[in-house]
Amino acid sequence: DLATALNNRGQVRYFRVEFAAAMEDYTAAIECLPGFEVPYYNRGLVLYRLGCFDEAIKDFRKVLELNPQFEDAALSLKQAILDKEEKEKRGY
């Protein structure tokens, strides 16, 4: 389906370090199929790598709302919260 194809293309772009293009694909996949948790997770990973912790946390929480058993999302959420707190302690 289209949402899966967009997510997969986003993965290719992510691996090519084309983060803006990857995020566009993940967002398009979400718009096609809002209940598909994988593109939220993938977009959250890009946001995390870019240091956009609040946005990444929001995406990881959405994944867990859609699929509470998504363990990688739970781990990524915890790490994003820790890194956000560390960043705030350092005053960045």
**Structure confidence at residue 4 (pLDDT):** 98
Question: pLDDT (tens digit, 9 = 90+) per residue, 25-78?
Answer: 999 999 999 999 999 999 999 999 999 999 999 999 999 999 999 999 999 999
* pTM exceeding the 0.75 threshold for the entire prediction: yes
Two tokens, residue 50: 């870019």
**Structure confidence at residue 91 (pLDDT):** 83
Q: How confident is the model at residue 89 (pLDDT cuts 50, 70, 90)?
A: very high
**Structure confidence at residue 92 (pLDDT):** 72
DSSP state of 70: -
Contact 46, 26 (CB under 8 A): yes
Which CATH code is given to the segment(s) 2-90? Answer: 1.25.40.10
Quick one: 58 exposed, middle or buried, by C-beta within 10 A (0-12, 13-18, 19+)?
A: middle
**3-class SS of residue 17:** coil
Q: How many CB atoms lie within 10 A of CB 61?
A: 16
